[in-house]
């Protein structure tokens, strides 16, 4: 896109020649370095650069021939920019579309993969978050500390100082007991068989039928 000389002078592209001249004169009076007074070197350089842009705008727009050529180039650049934007907006996810400007892939299959790849990445991230959340939920400490709804026969549980089932345990723990039956809801007609110990859960809503764990090496 060429420099917008119309914007430099603050005028409409359809402005008449006299309007262009007046805009140039006004801009030159405002930004001429000689009218700045005492300023820093950086400010003076900025003013000189600005004045150069103003004079260049007048050189182009003040000449009928140069202005005509400039307008054609400006219109062509605007049309090209609009076409490129339309390609990106409409064809980015079209598997049959041509490659975007400046991004050419000779293999149609590769081009299609590159277009849909971002969607696969988003989907994979979503699945990963779901799996991680499910794993984290099942791994929470309270799930292991509350065997009321998950302990199955032949597992071992830990008997706390309160004499209640506190949670799952390694069967080699001195306070561990092996589960023969449970959890069983309090008030159930099911009774612990002879030789087992009835131990309630911490909330006393359920109980287990327990025996000492089998010593290591015992058959």
Q: What is the CATH number of the domain that holds 37?
A: 1.10.287.110
Could you identify the residue written with the tokens 């309270």? 142
What is the chain's pLDDT, residue by residue, as a tens digit (219 residues)? 568 999 999 999 999 999 999 999 999 988 888 877 788 889 889 989 999 999 999 999 999 999 999 999 999 988 887 767 666 565 554 545 555 555 555 666 666 766 777 877 877 887 878 767 655 544 444 443 444 444 455 588 889 888 899 888 888 888 888 888 888 888 878 889 888 999 999 888 889 898 988 765 555
Asked if residue 114 is part of any domain, the answer here is: no
Asked if residue 168 is part of any domain, the answer here is: yes
Asked if residue 38 is part of any domain, the answer here is: yes
Which 3 state secondary structure label does DSSP give 124?
Answer: helix
> Strand order in 197-200's β-sheet?
165-168, 156-159, 176-185, 206-211, 197-200
Task: Give residue 56's domain range.
Answer: 5-90
């Amino acid at each position: 896109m060429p420099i917008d000389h119309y914007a430099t002078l603050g005028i409409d592209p359809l402005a008449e020649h006299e309007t262009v001249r007046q805009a140039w004169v006004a801009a030159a009076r405002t930004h001429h370095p000689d009218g700045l007074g005492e300023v820093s070197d950086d400010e003076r350089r900025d003013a000189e650069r600005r004045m150069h842009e103003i004079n260049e705008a007048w050189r182009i727009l003040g000449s009928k021939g140069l202005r005509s050529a400039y307008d054609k180039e400006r219109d062509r650049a605007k049309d090209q920019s609009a076409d490129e934007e339309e390609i990106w907006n409409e064809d980015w996810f079209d598997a049959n579309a041509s490659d975007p400007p400046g991004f050419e892939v000779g293999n149609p299959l590769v081009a299609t993969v590159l277009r849909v790849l971002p969607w696969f990445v988003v989907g994979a991230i979503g699945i990963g978050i779901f799996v991680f959340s499910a794993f984290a939920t099942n791994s929470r400490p309270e799930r292991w500390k509350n065997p009321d709804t998950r302990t199955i026969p032949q597992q071992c549980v830990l008997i706390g100082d309160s004499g209640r089932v506190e949670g799952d345990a390694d069967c080699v723990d001195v306070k561990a007991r092996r589960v023969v039956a449970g959890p069983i809801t309090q008030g159930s007609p099911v009774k612990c068989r002879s030789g087992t110990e009835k131990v309630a859960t911490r909330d006393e809503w359920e109980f287990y039928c327990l025996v000492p764990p089998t010593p290591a090496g015992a058959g």
